[in-house]
Amino acid sequence: MIVVMKPLSPQKEVEHVIQLVREMGLKEHVIVGEERTVIAVIGDDRFKDRSVLESAPGVDRVVPILAPYKMASIEIKKDRTVVPLGAAAGGKIGGMKIGVIAGPCSVESKSQLLEIAHAVKEAGAVGLRGGAFKPRTNPYSFQGLAEKGLELLALAREQTGLAVVTEVMSIDQVGLVNRYADVLQVGARNMQNFNLLNAVGEQRKPVLLKRGMSATLEEFLLAAEYIMSRGNTQVMLCERGIRTYEEYVRNTLALAAVPELRRVSHLPVVVDPSQGTGKSYLVDSMCRAAVAAGADGLIIEVHNDPEHAMTDGAQSITPKMFSEMMKAIKRIAEAVDREV
């Protein structure tokens, strides 16, 4: 439920409500708005007596949250969340400006990463992607450079100012990845790894949460809720396509998820047209469509030599294609009252 305080209610009254919430065995999440404060009450409140809260001084009303996810729901927060990516480039995801994260699927070498990082920065990206730990279907495939890859990402950040976005695959990697990354990526295959979600929820770097390839939007939002309920509210939802019977694409990019997620949640929505199509020649069109559909950000695989990429070459665009795409989405962003 949500406790809506009266406009300009004093801090003392807010604190009293928090105390009552805790006495009920529930947790509070306070959202200070311009005019009034709202207290989201988190936990299983089915059998709790809300009249205690209703009659507390300064309380305007107590409203049940209908969605099963609470902190991720638009019901508790009407203004949209903006996630600062936290590097010198000063990029953000959410708000008026659309943030673009780009880079190779995997970090392969120093020259590969630096060349791509400088090129995408030049074209207007705010974040650099690149996997150091790769979730591969085949155990004999390239698994990523691990810590060496993280060091290269940190070097690329130093040279470009781009925020580093990289995947963390397990709880025991969280500490290590956290030391190098600006944003922790939780991959599609781990979207319902609840222990990992809790672990990234315990730290304070932003999280890019990818939709599981067979997850419903409700399951996706409940995964975000796991992270947020541990205190980390800096979550970005990433639509990366789902498994269907269709074979002309690697995954079916569900772009209707963009406006739907924005309708039910205040969290920013990022689209990954690379995993979302598996075909480099489809990426440009899907970037345009994502921006037109209201995406807050894009994450795109860019490679300087896609033919020889160690992972996902077929869906990687070249720096030149990336820079043309950036020009195209600038025009589309303007048409939908946004900027890139």
Residues of this chain that bind ligand PEP (CB under 6 A)? 105, 131, 135, 187-189, 210, 240, 272, 275
* Among residues 312, 317, 319, 322, the one that binds Mn ion under rule CB under 5 A: 312
Q: Residue 91 binds which one of ligand PEP, Mn ion, none, with CB within 5 to 8 A depending on kind?
A: none
Euclidean distance between CA atoms 51 and 163, whole angstroms: 47
Long-range contacts of 73-79, Cβ-Cβ distance < 8 Å, separation of 24 or more: 73/221, 73/264, 73/265, 73/266, 74/263, 74/264, 74/265, 74/266, 75/2, 76/2, 76/29, 76/31, 76/38, 76/40, 77/31, 77/38, 77/266, 78/266, 79/33, 79/266
Contacts of 25 (CB under 8 A, 6+ apart): 43, 48
Q: Residue 70 binds which one of ligand PEP, Mn ion, none, with CB within 5 to 8 A depending on kind?
A: none
Minimum CB–partner distance for residue 195 and ligand PEP (Å)? 17
Sign of CA dihedral 172, 82, 265, 68: positive
Which residue has the CB atom at the shortest distance from ligand PEP? 187
* Among residues 105, 221, 271, 329, the one that binds Mn ion under rule CB under 5 A: 105
Q: Residue 135 binds which one of ligand PEP, Mn ion, none, with CB within 5 to 8 A depending on kind?
A: ligand PEP
- Measure the CA angle with vertex 312, ends 259 and 328; round to 5°: 45
* By the rule CB under 5 A, 188 interacts with Mn ion: no
Minimum CB–partner distance for residue 242 and ligand PEP (Å)? 10
* By the rule CB under 5 A, 108 interacts with Mn ion: no
Minimum CB–partner distance for residue 25 and ligand PEP (Å)? 36
CA neighbours closer than 13 Å in the CB half-sphere of residue 104: 33
Euclidean distance between CA atoms 310 and 250, whole angstroms: 17
Number of continuous H segments (helices) and E segments (strands) in the chain: 10, 14
Q: Residue 187 binds which one of ligand PEP, Mn ion, none, with CB within 5 to 8 A depending on kind?
A: ligand PEP
Stretch near Mn ion under the rule CB under 5 A, chosen from 64-72, 105-113, 207-215, 257-265: 105-113
Minimum CB–partner distance for residue 262 and ligand PEP (Å)? 20
Minimum CB–partner distance for residue 175 and ligand PEP (Å)? 21
In contact, 195 and 169? CB cutoff 8 Å: no
Minimum CB–partner distance for residue 105 and ligand PEP (Å)? 5
CA neighbours closer than 13 Å in the CB half-sphere of residue 194: 5
Stretch near Mn ion under the rule CB under 5 A, chosen from 148-156, 213-221, 311-319, 321-329: 311-319
Question: Looking at beta carbons only, is 105 or 329 nearer to Mn ion?
Answer: 105
Provide the binding-site residues for Mn ion, judged by CB under 5 A. Answer: 105, 312
